[in-house]
């Protein structure tokens, strides 16, 4: 009987980059689980030597923010904020929230695509969300916000859950098996205020014959620094 081989550290790092769009030394330390920053640096250096990953720096010369991608070109600022926001939310918190890999995403959303009659659903960062032991586990799409003004954020949320891009998630929301995770780049006070607002006035998706409530969970977004 054949046994599955454990992926090498390099393969695991590449899978992390393919899922999140980037990685950092800190993220690799968490991924490898040894707490050894030197090991993370060596794995990343090996991938750089083989030109599988490329190092990018932003910010002050004496203390830059460093990240790694598969592309020689650095990410544009909005894309960097989105990718890093998802990475930090999934990897750096005490309660880890692993994102569905591309193969698992395709398997789960392929069934939705059949129902929604969509040819293909583009990969988006999703994870299994369960706020507490009493709540069921549901699939959650992560969306990183850019605005900090609460009224602008509320308008953006309402527009998103009623846009054509939300159609696949609408079919999950109908069955009560979906929540939206929204990462707000603001203070904890603003996060709490917006959380209270969406609890009092749930977002409604009107893409079908009847409005469908969309549960939204608000968390503080981490920004590259």
Tens of pLDDT, residue by residue, the chain (225 residues): 445 578 899 999 999 999 999 999 999 999 999 899 999 999 999 999 999 999 999 987 777 899 999 999 999 999 999 999 999 999 998 887 889 988 999 998 998 898 888 888 999 999 999 888 888 899 999 999 988 889 999 999 999 999 999 999 999 999 999 999 999 998 899 999 999 999 999 999 999 999 999 999 999 999 887
The Cα 142–Cα 13 span in angstroms is: 21
Q: What's the length of the chain?
A: 225
Contact 69, 18 (CB under 8 A): no
Q: Are 172 and 140 in contact (CB under 8 A)?
A: no
Q: Write the DSSP symbol of residue 2.
A: -
Q: Which helix H or strand E contains 181, and what residues bound it?
A: strand 178-184
Q: Say how far apart CA 188 and CA 119 lie, in whole Å.
A: 40
End-to-end CA distance of the chain: 48
Report the alpha-carbon distance of residue 19 to residue 115 in Å, rounded. 25
Cα–Cα distance, 170 to 165 (Å, whole number)? 10
**pTM for the whole structure:** 0.91
Domains and CATH numbers, the chain: 9-75 (1.10.10.10), 102-220 (no CATH)
């Amino acid at each position: 009987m054949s046994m599955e081989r454990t992926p090498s550290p390099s393969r695991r790092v590449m899978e992390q980059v393919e899922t999140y769009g980037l990685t950092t030394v800190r993220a690799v330390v968490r991924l490898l689980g040894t707490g050894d920053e030197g090991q993370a640096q060596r794995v990343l250096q090996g991938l750089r030597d083989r030109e599988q990953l490329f190092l990018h720096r932003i910010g002050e010369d004496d203390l830059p923010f460093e990240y790694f991608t598969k592309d020689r070109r650095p990410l544009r600022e909005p894309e960097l904020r989105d990718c890093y926001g998802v990475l930090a939310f999934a990897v750096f918190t005490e309660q880890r929230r692993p994102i569905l890999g591309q193969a698992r995403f395709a398997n789960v959303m392929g069934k939705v695509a059949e129902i929604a009659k969509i040819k293909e659903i583009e990969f988006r960062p999703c994870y299994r969300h369960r706020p507490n032991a009493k709540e069921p586990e549901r699939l959650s799409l992560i969306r990183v916000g850019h605005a900090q003004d609460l009224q602008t954020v509320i308008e953006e949320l309402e527009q998103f859950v009623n846009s054509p891009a939300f159609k696949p998630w609408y079919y999950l929301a109908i069955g009560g098996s979906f929540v939206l995770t929204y990462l707000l780049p603001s203070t904890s006070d603003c996060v709490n205020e917006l959380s209270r607002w969406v609890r009092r006035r749930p977002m409604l998706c009107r893409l079908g014959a009847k409005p469908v409530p969309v549960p939204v969970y608000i968390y503080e977004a981490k920004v590259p620094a």
